[in-house]
Each structure stands twice: as C-alpha cells, then as structure tokens.
Amino acid sequence: VVGLDPVLESLPPALRPRDNTHAAAVAALESFGRGVLDVVAPHVPAVKINAGFFEAHYGEGLAAYYRLVAHAHTRGLLVIGDIKRGDIGSTAKLYARGHLGAPRQEDVDPAMIPDAVTLAGYLGENAVRPFIEAARELGRGLYVLVRPSDPGADEVHEFGSGPRFYEHMADLVGRWGAGAGLLGECGLSCVGAVVAPKDAASTAALRARLPQTPFLVPGYGAQGATAENCRPCLRADGSGAVINASRAVIYAFERADYRVRYGDDWQACVAAACQAFAADVAPLLAPRL
Amino acid sequence: VVGLDPVLESLPPALRPRDNTHAAAVAALESFGRGVLDVVAPHVPAVKINAGFFEAHYGEGLAAYYRLVAHAHTRGLLVIGDIKRGDIGSTAKLYARGHLGAPRQEDVDPAMIPDAVTLAGYLGENAVRPFIEAARELGRGLYVLVRPSDPGADEVHEFGSGPRFYEHMADLVGRWGAGAGLLGECGLSCVGAVVAPKDAASTAALRARLPQTPFLVPGYGAQGATAENCRPCLRADGSGAVINASRAVIYAFERADYRVRYGDDWQACVAAACQAFAADVAPLLAPRL
C-alpha cells in the first residue's frame, strides 16, 4: 500500500501553487495526488489516502480527498481512507454514512467512497458498529487502531499490566470482527487492525492473538521499519497484512539518488521508489515453513 | 452550550429537501443550522458543532460546517468544533492546521475556525501537541476525551485497576495542560477534558484529579443526565465546566408540549427549550459553600 499524505510545502517545485489562494493550494495538492496515483497503480494493489492532509484545507480539501479516492478507483486501485474517526454511537452512524456507506443521494458518485477506512475504537464497540454494518453489506473493511506507529503513543498503549492496554484493544477488535458474516474466503475478517511493527516478539504475539484479523502495517520506510521488521505481522501463509509506505515513496523526488537518475521527472522518481518498495516487501508474501 | 448535531431525517418538515440531490441535502442542513444558531444565541455563550453530522455529506457537508462556525461567530457565539480527531504527530499537525490554526491562505475567512475543538488523545501527547500550540498562540482551546458519555465506551475506559484507563487519560490530560503559558486568568488551562457525568463520587474524583482543567460535559438531556448529575463537574466556585445539550434543544419542535404552545414555529420551540435548558443549569454556576 502506498500512503498519500501530501503537504503543500513538500510538493515538487513544478506543482507548487502560483499564488497564496486557497483554490490554488487545493488544486496543487490534488494534482500531486493524481500524479502519484497514476504512477503507483501498476506496482501496488492499494493506496491509503490520509484525510487529515486534505482537511488542512477545510471542506474543499476534503472534497479533493473524495475526488482522489474516485481517481484511484479509475486506476484499478483499492483505497483505504485513513480517517481515524472514533466517536460515540450516535455520531459514529453519521461518520459511517459519509466515509464508508453507500451514498443516499442519487447524484453522488459511489466511486468516491473508499473500500476500507481506519478507525479509532477507543469509544468501544458502538463507535465502530455502524462501520462494521456498512462493511458487511457492501463487502468493505475497516482497520481499528491497536498499536500505532508513533512511539509517542506508548504512554497510552503500554498502560496496565497483564494484559496491557494495546492487548486489551486487540482482544476487543478480535471480538468485534468475529461476528456472523464478517469472515471472507481466506478466513480473514472485514474488521482489521492497525499494527505497527515493534520488537519481533510482541508483534508475533499480536499476530497470534488475532488469527483472523488482517493487519494494516504502518511505519515502513520514513518511520524506520524495514521489511524484515514487518514479517511478524503476516500469517505463516504470507497473507493477513498489507504494508504501507508513505513518505518513502511519494517524496522520492527529494532523494539525491533518484534525482541523479531521473532529474526533474518527479513521477519517475515516485514510480521507481514504489517499485523498489514493492520488490522489498514481496518476499514476505511467500509462505513460511 | 448547545450542540448542533443535525440529521436530515429529523429536520422540521418545512426545511426538508425538496429532492434527493446532494446539494439540496447540504442546503437543508445548513439552513437548519443557521436557524438554530440564530435563536439560541441570546441564551447561551457557546455552541458545539459536530463535524460528523456534516461529514455524512462529504466535502460539501464539511464546507457547510465551516460556514456555520462563521455564522455562529456573527451571532456573538463561541464555537467548539466537535471533531474528536486523534492521529500520530505528523498527521496531527495537519489536522490542527485545518481545525484550530490560523488560515495560511489570505482568502480564507478566519471566522470559520472554531474557538476550541474536541480531540481524542489516545495516540499520546504528539497527537494533541500541535493543537496545544495553536491554542496557546491564538487564545483558543481544546477538550480531550477522558470519559465519554456513551456507556458503550466503558469496555475501554474502565480497563485496568489502580488507576483505571480513564484516570490514566485524565492524568495525561492534566499534565499536557500544565505547561508554561497554558493557564488563563481563572487558573484554568486551555487544555480541557470531555467528562460525562456518571456516579457523583467518581465524577467528583475526576474534578479533584484535574483542578486546572475545564470540563466539557456531554450527556445532559436526551442522553439522560440532569443538571444535578452535572454539578460535580464544576469547581466549588461554580466555574470550570460547560454543559452541553444537543437533541433536547435542537429537536424541541418534536415535543408535544412545545407544539401545543408554538405550533409549526420550530424556531420558537428551539428558543424555548434553550431558555429552559439555560435556566435549569444556571444554579450550578453559583459558588458552593
């Protein structure tokens, strides 16, 4: 999975907005997003589009997020909407309508809704239940935060002993995903977990704790994790996890080695980094003995 | 505080959209929102606008949320943006730009940014730090979830023993809010907490645990809490908390007693319910002996 987390200040020089207007800012972000999606599509099955980077530009920014989801679909990509929403049940229903459910108005393009979303499950089952219902009805999915990649999250997730808080969250996510009609052909649930690789032992323990839960694995590349660090997130048959790289791919045009090879062709840099990323993690998908 | 959580199916008949288009849906929600803000403004100091109810209508819905924040400001109201965002530091920076920081483009109306937001602090300090910086610079605020109103959240928040998870979160929020430059004239921090009233003893214990933390108190009215239940959320001098009512006020036109008095004048119903709510909680603001 390639993560699309674009910030205005880091766009390729050719794409930076010409003036300091809001419309130019949103157009620049969207243009970069389309350019990334176009060149990564041949190399990865899915992208993760981070809503926060678009909400930095208000309602129009979020509208661009939805248009990029639709654009990714035209390129044959699956899309994970990285929204990390989490609110009480009455509000969760509305978030689920906008972010995972089928549109209720006839003039809304259904292609702009992602195939899966990331969620915070810290307000309990009611906060994720409307998303689970939408996922079951529409063949979509969700990934609930269990072990975030930011080490700063440890002050919350390492709380408690026997089990720790993140293990408690893992147990809840496993339980929420075990309901009738939620398991697919491979025995994996539509209720997944966001699990960053930490030390191999604790990551393997989470994998064992959640045998039917697909993992979305952040932290590869710019955040420091290697393909080898990610290995314990996969099941022994090589399934059960998707690995995300964001900055290492989408900002590849900043790297001297790619610039030497591709000059100002930023899309060639992104394509090459994406290919390198896919090749780096491909061996993980082979069954282990 | 009046909470604006509008759903299309519950709008007054006169405001329901005439056709099943997306534009008509957003216009109906916005029109209802403006009508509520206009009539509650004389009776309360602030409103809480829930972004989730607008995101149910995608980017254009969120754009309406921002326009309603600006409209509330023209009515002299303070605005809490109920967004419950919470993501790792690199993403939190961008969410803070869009939801609490000063606009960077010259053609963005600064009045559309709320005075405070609600946040999830479950990814640790890095997830809230960019919001704290914006709050300190701009004289704004944030409320971090400590004890949500949905009983379904207990499976997460009652985790652990000595202290429980919600007490751990309370300690973190208290620590994050104790930094230099964060306390105002009344000795209250710009880093607040969302604390729903449960049993009086545990609520009073949270108040004592967080002496400098302003509370945003959900749960009044439709969710079952009375003014008396909210009392332990306030400090002995009657300061330190704002109490939110959403459905009990904005859907007052559904109540038979108000309809008898005001007929189809839905705004008169909302105004009357808002006045009754303000009168009900006013005694809490008096200092206790």
Q: B65-124: per-residue pLDDT in tens?
A: 999 999 999 999 999 999 999 999 999 999 999 999 999 999 999 999 999 999 999 999
Identity at A159, one-letter amino acid code: F
pTM: 0.98
d(CA B57, CA A66): 11
CA distance A51 to A62: 7
Residue partners of B168: CB distance under 8 A and separation at least 6: A156, A159, B160
**How far is the first Cα of chain A from the last one, in angstroms, to the nearest whole number?**
25
Q: pLDDT band at B134, cuts 50/70/90?
A: very high
pLDDT value at B140 more than 90: yes
From chain B, pick out residues whose CB is under 8 angstroms from the CB of A4: none
**pLDDT above 90 (res A202):** yes
CA distance B99 to A244: 26
For residue A247, the tally of other CB atoms under 10 A from its CB is 17
Partner-chain contact B165 A160, CB within 8 Å: yes
From A111's Cα to the closest Cα of chain B, the distance in A is 13
d(CA A210, CA A197): 15
- Alpha-carbon distance B96 to nearest alpha carbon in chain A (angstroms): 7
For chain B, percent of residues with pLDDT exceeding 70: 100
pLDDT at residue A95, as a whole number:
98
What φ, ψ does residue B64 adopt, rounded to 5°? -65, -40
Residue B11: its chain A contacts at CB < 8 A? none
pLDDT of B162: 83
Chain B nearest-CA distance from A286, in A, is: 31
pLDDT computed for residue A71 by the predictor: 98
Task: Number of A to B CB contacts under 8 A, please give it.
Answer: 206
Query: Residues B60, A65: contact at Cβ < 8 Å?
Result: no
Contact A58 B127 (CB under 8 A): no
Could you give the CA distance from residue A27 to residue A199 in angstroms, rounded to a whole number? 41
Round to whole Å and give the CA distance between B289 and B276.
Answer: 26
pLDDT of A238 above 90: yes
Compare CB distances from B165 to A85, A123, A165 and report the shortest one's residue: A165
Token pair for B87: 């993501």
Task: Give the separation between CA B96 and CA B282, rounded to whole angstroms.
Answer: 33
Task: Answer whether B152's CB lies under 8 Å from B127's CB.
Answer: no
Check A20 against B106: CB less than 8 A apart: yes
Contact partners, residue A116, CB within 8 Å, separation at least 6: A78, A79, A80, A81, A100, A135, A140, A141, A142, A143, A192
Distance from CA of B5 to the nearest CA of A (A): 8
Residue A288 pLDDT class (50, 70, 90 cuts) = confident
Going from the C-alpha of B82 to that of each of A85, A87, A178, B49, B195, the distances in angstroms are 12, 10, 31, 6, 14
**Facing B148 at nearest CB: one of A63, A97, A123:** A123
- List chain A residues with CB under 8 Å of B152: 88-89, 123-127
For B50, the closest chain A residue by CA position comes to A91
- pLDDT per residue as tens digits for the range B217-239: 999 998 899 999 999 999 999 99
- Residue B46 per-residue DSSP state: E
User: Smallest Cβ distance to A150: which of B63, B104, B124?
Assistant: B124
Answer yes or no: is pLDDT of A8 > 80.
yes
Give the best residue of B19, B26, B69, B105 to mutate against chain A (max A CB count within 10 A). B105
Least CB-CB distance to A88: which of B65, B148, B165? Answer: B148
Dist. CA B241–CA A247, nearest whole Å: 41
Q: How many CA atoms lie within 13 A of A110 on its CB side?
A: 7
Q: Name which of A59, A221, A79, A153 is nearest B61 in CA terms.
A: A59
The mean per-residue pLDDT over the stretch A200-218 comes to 97
Residue A70 confidence (pLDDT): 98
Write out the two tokens for A209.
Answer: 């704790």
State the Cα–Cα distance between residues B37 and B77, nearest whole angstrom.
9
Give me the pLDDT at residue A34, please.
Answer: 98
Chain B, nearest residue to A170 by Cα: B156
Contact B89, A154 (CB under 8 A): no
B93 is catalytic: no
* Three-state SS letters, A68-132: HHHHHHHCCCEEEEEEEECCCHHHHHHHHHHHCCCCCCCCCCHHHCCCEEEECCCCCHHHHHHHH
Please tell me which of the candidates B20, B23, B62 has its beta carbon nearest to residue A62.
Answer: B62
* Average model confidence (pLDDT) across chain A: 97
**Contact check, Cβ <8 Å, A52/B120:** no
* Among B69, B91, B143, B164, the residue to mutate for chain A (most A Cβ within 10 A): B91
Tell me: pLDDT of A134 over 80.
yes
The C-alpha of A125 sits at a distance from chain B's nearest C-alpha, in angstroms, of: 7
Asked if residues A131 and A189 have their Cβ atoms less than 8 Å apart, the reply is no
Give contacts of A216 with chain B, Cβ < 8 Å. Answer: none
* 3-class secondary structure per residue, B115-149: CEEEECCCCCHHHHHHHHHHHHHHCCEEEEEEECC
Both tokens assigned to A279: 């090749």
Query: How many degrees, rounded to 5, is the angle at CA B143 between CA B5 and CA B122?
Result: 100
Q: Please state, in angstroms and rounded to a whole number, the distance separating the CA atoms of residues A250 and A114.
A: 20
Neighbouring C-beta atoms of residue A261, cutoff 10 Å: 12
Give the confidence band of A177 by pLDDT, cuts at 50, 70, 90: very high
Q: Do A154 and B124 touch (CB under 8 A)?
A: yes
Identify the closest residue of chain B to A59 by CA–CA distance.
B63
pLDDT of residue B161: 87
Q: Give the pLDDT confidence score for residue A161 in this predicted structure.
A: 87
Partners of residue A160 in chain B, C-beta under 8 Å: 159-160, 165
